[in-house]
């Protein structure tokens, strides 16, 4: 195989002059019309990574919660996890190379990573419902085939479904079958088992209203619905038949604006949830009888899940260690509740699930969620084997608890945070514990908080440390933030450059909404 063949075709995918992109929190993202060359080059890079790892690699075309006009691409590594950091660097070099430097960059990557160019390569591809996604995924395929890579195009998939496919293919089907039916079957089997256990103790599922952000989640939940019946009945809103993707709806909108999505019919005390544009995030919410809106975010999801897992471990008499991983965006009340009431160790990682995933792998059971509802639970090989063995050996109450844990393991998508899988876990736990959405919400009270975006000339002038909780540059910024924070009670604030949008994000929390709002505003001014 001769790398020079790439240069013959890459001119067809010309790079807009002067455009420099960074492989950020979740791959490359920008306006869809600027991404053709990136897609072609990422197809090529995926082939090199596949040859090097002798494994199937995934390429997902999506820009998740970003506007419909945007798009993006990310590579999925052999175990279904995010691309290794050294290859993110290669992705940057390749994407930003001028046409005449392409061959040199490709040869450099191949040499440094000792890629055997004669090795076979296999790539799986998925895409979201954006109008630009189909054409862009064709550019990925062109990049794959130019280097002789084999591929399977799954077409429309949620991001976590593609992570699942990659994981299945590289573990000889041990994780599950690498088909969309295999995914539905695995999750619904586990869910229906839990469902039986819930009805044995007199609890039942009710219906759930789901805002699908006018995205892929709607299509996939429609396909999955009959696997879940009788059991859970879903009412889908913002299913893409009328509205625009992520516009005034979806998990990111609900979390950022702390209000319900457009197009959802909500009655008081009804349990509702929102997915994001590629269905890897979920948040819950409801209106109380006084008409007050309550958001149940990723932090409260992590709390519900870890307290349930802790109870089950206690019942089966196992001291497997549980750790919870959050980011700087986690509400201060959630961290306090987890540490002080639940006595669970909590760790703070940098934003982006790749960082949380990595940290969560250190525990027997690692629960990780971003406040925006992106997360999952990882079970170590040892913990999983132990639980499966106990589910066979134990008796009575202990056996039931071990079986529940076993089903929970199968219900989680351990390759990546997955809104559909998380939704089913949450629904199962609520039913098994007989909890209403209000009781779940009442675990603790969130500190009022505000997140805002600030446009600056160059967001990269801001660098941070301590899991993004303190600014290192520009000089004086952190001191200014410290002074502002001192003015408010129970307050905390930080800034960081976004990895998916050309903005600086500001987060503030304080004892009242007014204080959180004005602290965020003042810190925003300090960023200029």
Q: Give the span between the Cα atoms of 477 and 458, in whole angstroms.
A: 15
Q: Is the dihedral of CA 356, 359, 360, 361 positive or negative?
A: positive
When CB distances are held under 5 to 8 angstroms depending on the partner's kind, the choice from ligand NG1, Zn ion, none that residue 278 binds is Zn ion
We find the least distance from the C-beta atom of residue 165 to Zn ion, in angstroms, to be 17
Closer residue to ligand NG1 (CB): 28 or 329: 329
Phi, psi at 226, each rounded to 5°: -70, -20
Q: Taking the CB of residue 148, how many other CB atoms lie within 10 A of it? A: 14
Q: Which residues of 290-301 are buried (b: 16+ CB within 10 A; e: fewer)?
A: eeeebbbbbbbb
Query: Does residue 464 belong to the site contacting ligand NG1 (CB under 6 A)?
Result: no
Nearer to ligand NG1, 195 or 414 (CB): 414
Choose the contact partner of 352 out of ligand NG1, Zn ion, none; CB within 5 to 8 A by kind: ligand NG1
User: 27 or 143: whose CB is closer to ligand NG1?
Assistant: 27
Number of residues that bind ligand NG1 (CB under 6 A): 14
276 belongs to an annotated ligand binding site: yes
Catalytic residue among 10, 50, 64, 188: 64
Ligand-binding annotation for 445, yes or no, is no
Of 166 and 432, CB closest to Zn ion: 166
CB 107 within 8 A of CB 117: no
Let me know: does 388 contact 380? Beta carbons within 8 Å: no
- Touching ligand NG1, residues 467-506 (CB under 6 A): 498-501, 505
- Per-residue binder mask for ligand NG1 (CB under 6 A), 305-334, x = binder: ------------------------x-----
Rg for the chain, CA atoms, rounded: 23
Bridge partners (DSSP) listed for residue 323: 366
371 is in an annotated binding site: yes
Please tell me whether residue 278 binds Zn ion under the rule CB under 5 A: yes
Instruction: Tell me whether residue 142 or residue 370 sits nearer to ligand NG1 (CB atom).
Output: 370
Q: Does 276 bind Zn ion (CB under 5 A)?
A: yes
413 is in an annotated binding site: no
For the segment 11-50, give every residue that binds ligand NG1 (CB under 6 A).
25-26
Stretch that binds ligand NG1, among 35-43, 366-374, 379-387, 462-470 (CB under 6 A): 366-374
Alpha-helical regions (H) of 171-231: 180-200, 216-224
> Helices 133-146 & 36-53, crossing angle to 10 degrees?
50
Residues facing residue 263 across a β-bridge: none
Annotated active-site residue 199? The verdict is: no
Q: How far is the CB of 322 from ligand NG1 (least distance, A)?
A: 22
75 CB contacts (<8 Å, ≥6 apart)?
27, 42, 45, 46, 49, 57, 58, 59, 83, 87, 91
State yes or no: 207 annotated in a binding site.
Answer: no
Using the rule CB under 5 A, is 64 a contact of Zn ion?
yes
How many other C-beta atoms are found inside a 10 Å radius of the C-beta of residue 326? 26
Binding site for Zn ion (CB under 5 A): 64, 276, 278, 280
Active site residues: 64
Question: Which residues carry a binding-site annotation?
Answer: 64, 276, 278, 280, 370-372, 496-500, 505
């Amino acid at each position: 195989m001769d790398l020079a063949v790439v240069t013959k075709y890459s001119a067809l995918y010309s790079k807009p002059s002067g455009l420099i992109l960074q492989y950020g929190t979740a791959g490359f993202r920008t306006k869809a019309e600027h991404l053709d060359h990136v897609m072609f080059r990422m197809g090529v890079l995926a082939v090199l990574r596949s040859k090097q790892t002798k494994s199937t690699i995934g390429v997902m075309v999506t820009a998740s919660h970003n506007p419909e006009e945007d798009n993006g691409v990310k590579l999925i590594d052999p175990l279904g996890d995010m691309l290794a950091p050294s290859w993110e660097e290669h992705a940057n070099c390749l994407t930003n190379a001028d046409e005449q430097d392409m061959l040199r960059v490709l040869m450099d990557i191949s040499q440094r990573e000792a890629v055997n160019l004669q090795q076979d390569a296999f790539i799986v591809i998925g895409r979201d419902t954006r109008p630009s996604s189909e054409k862009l995924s064709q550019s990925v395929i062109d990049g794959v085939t130019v280097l002789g890579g084999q591929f399977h195009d799954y077409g429309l998939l949620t991001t976590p479904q593609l992570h699942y496919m990659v994981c299945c293919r590289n573990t000889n089907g041990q994780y599950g079958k690498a088909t969309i039916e295999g995914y539905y079957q695995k999750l619904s089997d586990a869910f229906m088992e839990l469902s039986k256990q819930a009805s044995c103790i007199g609890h039942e599922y009710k219906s759930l209203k789901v805002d699908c952000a006018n995205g892929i989640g709607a299509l996939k939940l429609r396909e999955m619905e009959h696997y879940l019946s009788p059991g859970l009945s879903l009412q889908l809103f913002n299913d893409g038949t009328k509205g625009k993707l992520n516009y005034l709806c979806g998990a990111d909108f609900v979390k950022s604006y702390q209000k319900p999505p457009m197009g959802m019919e909500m009655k008081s005390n009804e349990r509702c949830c929102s997915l994001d544009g590629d269905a890897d995030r979920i948040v819950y919410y409801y209106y109380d009888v006084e008409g007050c809106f309550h958001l149940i975010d990723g932090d409260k999801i992590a709390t519900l899940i870890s307290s349930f897992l802790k109870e089950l471990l206690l019942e089966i008499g196992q001291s497997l260690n549980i750790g919870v991983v959050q980011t700087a965006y986690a509400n201060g009340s959630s961290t306090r509740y987890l540490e002080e009431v639940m006595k669970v160790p909590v760790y703070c990682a940098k934003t982006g699930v790749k960082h949380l995933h990595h940290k969560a792998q250190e525990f027997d059971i690692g629960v990780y969620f971003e406040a925006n509802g992106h997360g999952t639970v990882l079970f170590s090989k040892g913990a999983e084997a132990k639980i499966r063995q106990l589910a066979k050996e134990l008796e009575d109450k202990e056996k039931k608890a071990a079986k529940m844990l076993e089903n929970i393991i199968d219900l989680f998508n351990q390759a990546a945070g997955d809104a559909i899988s998380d939704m089913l876990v949450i629904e199962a736990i609520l039913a098994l514990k007989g909890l209403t959405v209000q009781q779940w919400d009442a675990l603790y009270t969130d500190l009022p908080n505000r997140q805002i975006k600030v446009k600056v000339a160059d967001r990269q002038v801001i660098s941070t440390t301590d899991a993004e909780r303190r600014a290192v540059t520009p000089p004086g910024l952190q001191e200014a933030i410290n002074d502002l924070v001192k003015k408010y009670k129970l307050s905390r604030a930080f800034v960081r450059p976004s990895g998916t949008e050309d903005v600086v994000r500001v987060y503030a929390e304080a004892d009242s909404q007014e204080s959180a709002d004005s602290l965020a505003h003042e810190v925003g001014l300090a960023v200029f």
